Structure 1
Amino acid sequence: MSRPAKVPRELSFEPFSGSRAVAAGLLTWRMLDGPAWRRLFRDVYVHADSYDPDDHRMWCIAATLRLPRGAAVYGLSAAYLWGVDLLPRRAGSRPTPVHVALPKTARPEPHERVSYVYRALERQDITTFTGVPLTTEVRTAFDLGRSLPRAEALGALDALLRHRATTREKLTAYVDAHPGRRKIKQLRELLMLAEPLSESPMESRLRLLPHDAGLPKPTPQYEVRTPAPGSTGSVGSASGGKFLARVDLAYPQWRIAIEYEGDHHRERATFRRDVHRFNALRAAGWLALRFTADDVLRRSEQLVRTVRQAIAERAD
C-alpha cells in the first residue's frame, strides 16, 4: 500500500506556480501530475483538498500568478476581495470569471475563468492585498460606478460605502481628479444618490424608482417609534419612545413605509416577525407598501403609481 504524497506546508492551501515550486525543490513535475494536485492554469496548481471550483478568491489568486506587470484584479472581483460580494448568482449559469485589467501592451492567454479588459491604470490605482495585485478601494468604486448598468452601479456604490471599502469624500475627490472619463456623468449622479444604509442591491433598485419618477426622496432604514413620554409628537418619530419597527424606506411625514420582500421573508420565523411588525405599523397609523423582485424588475411603473397614489391620499 503506497503512502500518500507529503504536501509541503507552503503549498497546502493556496494556488502556486508549478515551475517555482519545482525550482525551489518543493515538488517535482512528476509529483504535480499526480492526484494530489489540481491544475488551474498553465503552470498554476492548487492542492486537491483546497480545490473548490466556486471559490472566487482561489481563482483570483491563481489568475494573478500569470499576470504581467501593471495588471490587476479589477471590477467585481476586486470588490469581492475587498469584502463586498456583488458577484451575480443565477441558477444554471457559469461561475463568474475573474475580472482583470491589463496594460495595453499585454497579450494574455485566453481562459474561460478570466475576463480581461484593457485599462490604463495609474500606479496609485493598484495595491496589493494578501499578495494579490488589485485596484484600490476607491478605484474599484470608480470603475463599478461607471461600467455597470445604472441600477446595478448604484447597488455597488451603496454596498462599497456600507462596508466602508471607501468613503463618499474619497470617491468624490477621485472623480473630480479624473474628469472626462467614460460614463463619468452617471457616476457623479449616482454618487449623490448613494446610500450606505441601503442593505441590498434590490433595495437600492427600489430606492431608485421614486427618484426617477420625480417623487420625494424616502428615508432609508427608518425606525418607527411611539412618541416619547410627555411628548406631543405623533407616532413615527425616529427618536424617543418605544421601538415599533425598522422599515426599508419611509415617508415619515405621511406615515408610509416601503418594504422590499426578498425570498428570506418566506421563511417561517421571518414571516411571523413580519406579521407582528406590520400589525404594529398598522396600529400606529402607518401604511406599509410591500414589493417583491417582480414588482421592482418587471412592474416598476405600477410600483411607482402605487407609491404616488399613497402619497396623494395621505397628503390630503
Structure 2
Amino acid sequence: MVRPPRRPAELVGKMFFAREVVHLGLLTRNDLRSSAWRQLFHNVYADARLEISHVMRARAAASWLFPPGCAIAGRSAVALLGGPQPRPDEPVEVLVEPSARFGPVAGLRIHVANWREGEVFRVDRAPVTTPVRTCWDLACWLDVVEAVAHIDALLRRGVTDHAELTAYQRRRGAERGVRRFAEALQLVDGGAESLPESRLRVRLIRAGLPRPVTQHVISRQGRFVARVDLAWPDRKVAVEYDGLWHHDAEQFHRDRRRLNQILGDDWLVLHVTAKRMAEDFDGVLTEIRTALATRRPR
C-alpha cells in the first residue's frame, strides 16, 4: 500500500525554503521528492496544489535567493508594479550589481548592471526597480515593439508618465542605451489597453502608417456610441484587435453590436486577429493602408 505524502499543516498552501524546513524537521529531503511539493528554484519549493503565478515566483526568488545588490527587474518588475504578468514558467528577470556576483541560477534571467540611488524600492518587501528604471531596462533589453508594449502598460497603470520618463532620459545624457530609450518614448501611448494592441500600433507606425488614436470614442450628437482600439478619426477608419476574448460568445456579440452601431456614420472598421498578426501582418498592413488611402480626410 502506497503511503500518502507528508503534508505538515505549517506548509499547506505555502512556498518555503527547503533547507529551513528540513532543519526544523518538518520534511526530509526524500519528502520533497513526493508529489505533494513542487520545486520553484534550487532549495525553493511550494505546495503542489498552489496555482503558481509569475509574481509569486518572483517574490519567492527575492525572499530566499537574492543576496544584497539584486532587484526584480524588466518584465517581472512590470508584473509586480501591477502590469501584465509573463507566463508562470518564464524566467524571473533580475538586475544584479557587478559587485554582487550572483548567478547563474536556473529559473532566473540575470542582467548585470549598476543602478543609481533611488532606482530600486520595495514592493511587498521585495526589491524591485522603480517604474522609471524599469522602463529604461525594458528599452535596453527588449526589441522596441515589446519594450513599448510594456512601457504602455506602466503608463496606463499611472505608476509613471511621459514627462517623468523624458526627464530621466535627459539625466542619462549620452549614456549607452539612451538612443533605444528615446526611440521607445517616441512610440509609447498609455491609452493602449493590452500588450497585443500596443504591439499592433507600434508595428503599424514603424511600417510608415500615420499614428493612430488609441481608444478613440465615437459619439453621435454628443452621445457615446462606441470606443475603438485604434482610429484615424479624420478618415473614419478604425481597427479592432480581436484577442482570445472571442471565445466568450456574449462578449463577442456585445462587441459586434457595438461596432455595427457606428457603420451608419460611415466608419470603416477592420479587424485584426492574433493569428493574422503572427502569420499575415503584411496582409493586415496592406488592408489598413488601402483603407486609409481610399478615404478622404473629413
TM-score (norm 2): 0.84
Matched residue, 1:125: 119
Mapped contact 2:59–2:126 kept (Cα < 8 A):
yes
> How many angstroms apart in 1 are the aligned matches of 2:293 and 2:279?
24
2:194 to 172, 179, 200: 200
Shift of 1:17: 4.8
> How many angstroms apart in 1 are the aligned matches of 2:199 and 2:103?
37
Shift of 1:158: 0.7
Shift of 1:216: 2.3
Q: Which one-letter code corresponds to 2:142 in the other structure?
A: L
> How many angstroms apart in 2 are the aligned matches of 1:39 and 1:147?
28
Counterpart check, 1:81 vs 2:80: yes
Residues 1:41 and 1:305: Cα distance change in structure 2 (over 3 Å): closer
Matched residue, 2:185: 191
Mapped contact 1:86–1:156 kept (Cα < 8 A):
no
What per-residue deviation string (whole Å, max 9, x for no partner) do you get for residues 189-238 of structure 1?
221221111111111122123322333222111111112xxxxxxxxxxx
1:244 to 218, 225, 235: 225
Q: Which one-letter code corresponds to 1:30 in the other structure?
A: G
Q: Which one-letter code corresponds to 2:185 in the other structure?
A: L
Mapped contact 2:92–2:108 kept (Cα < 8 A):
yes
Taking the TM superposition and a 5 Å limit, the aligned residue runs for 1:97-116 are 97-116=91-110
Q: Which one-letter code corresponds to 1:288 in the other structure?
A: V
Matched residue, 1:96: 90
SS of 2:25's equivalent?
A: helix
Counterpart check, 1:69 vs 2:54: no
Shift of 1:269: 0.9
> How many angstroms apart in 1 are the aligned matches of 2:113 and 2:60?
21
Matched residue, 1:278: 259
What per-residue deviation string (whole Å, max 9, x for no partner) do you get for residues 12-54 of structure 1?
76545566x67xxxx84432325687665555455x37754x3
> How many angstroms apart in 2 are the aligned matches of 1:148 and 1:248?
24
Matched residue, 2:27: 32
Residues 1:277 and 1:18: Cα distance change in structure 2 (over 3 Å): closer
Counterpart check, 1:265 vs 2:246: yes
> How many angstroms apart in 2 are the aligned matches of 1:122 and 1:12?
40
Mapped contact 2:149–2:198 kept (Cα < 8 A):
yes
Residues 1:18 and 1:288: Cα distance change in structure 2 (over 3 Å): closer
Percent of paired sites with the same residue: 34
> How many angstroms apart in 2 are the aligned matches of 1:274 and 1:263?
13
What per-residue deviation string (whole Å, max 9, x for no partner) do you get for residues 61-91 of structure 1?
222222221111111111111111241x4xx
SS of 1:124's equivalent?
A: coil
Shift of 1:145: 2.2
Q: Which one-letter code corresponds to 1:144 in the other structure?
A: L
Shift of 1:312: 2.1
Mapped contact 2:54–2:85 kept (Cα < 8 A):
no
Q: Which one-letter code corresponds to 1:32 in the other structure?
A: L
Mapped contact 2:69–2:99 kept (Cα < 8 A):
no
Taking the TM superposition and a 5 Å limit, the aligned residue runs for 1:37-52 are 40-41=40-41, 44=44, 46=46, 48=47, 51-52=50-51
Q: Which one-letter code corresponds to 1:157 in the other structure?
A: I
> How many angstroms apart in 2 are the aligned matches of 1:255 and 1:193?
22
Q: Which one-letter code corresponds to 1:168 in the other structure?
A: H
> How many angstroms apart in 2 are the aligned matches of 1:41 and 1:314?
56
> How many angstroms apart in 1 are the aligned matches of 2:163 and 2:251?
37
Mapped contact 1:210–1:304 kept (Cα < 8 A):
yes
Higher mean displacement: 33-42 or 60-69: 33-42
Q: Which one-letter code corresponds to 1:311 in the other structure?
A: L
> How many angstroms apart in 1 are the aligned matches of 2:207 and 2:103?
46
> How many angstroms apart in 2 are the aligned matches of 1:257 and 1:127?
41
Q: Which one-letter code corresponds to 2:285 in the other structure?
A: V
> How many angstroms apart in 1 are the aligned matches of 2:191 and 2:170?
24
Higher mean displacement: 172-181 or 195-204: 172-181
Mapped contact 1:79–1:85 kept (Cα < 8 A):
yes
Counterpart check, 1:255 vs 2:236: yes
Counterpart check, 1:180 vs 2:174: yes
Counterpart check, 1:157 vs 2:131: no
Mapped contact 1:14–1:50 kept (Cα < 8 A):
no
Mapped contact 2:41–2:106 kept (Cα < 8 A):
no
> How many angstroms apart in 2 are the aligned matches of 1:6 and 1:215?
60
> How many angstroms apart in 1 are the aligned matches of 2:132 and 2:184?
15
Q: What is the root-mean-square deviation of aligned Cα atoms in Å? A: 2.8
> How many angstroms apart in 2 are the aligned matches of 1:110 and 1:213?
38
Mapped contact 2:214–2:230 kept (Cα < 8 A):
yes
What per-residue deviation string (whole Å, max 9, x for no partner) do you get for residues 216-266 of structure 1?
222111111112xxxxxxxxxxxx1x3221111112222111111112124
SS of 1:180's equivalent?
A: coil
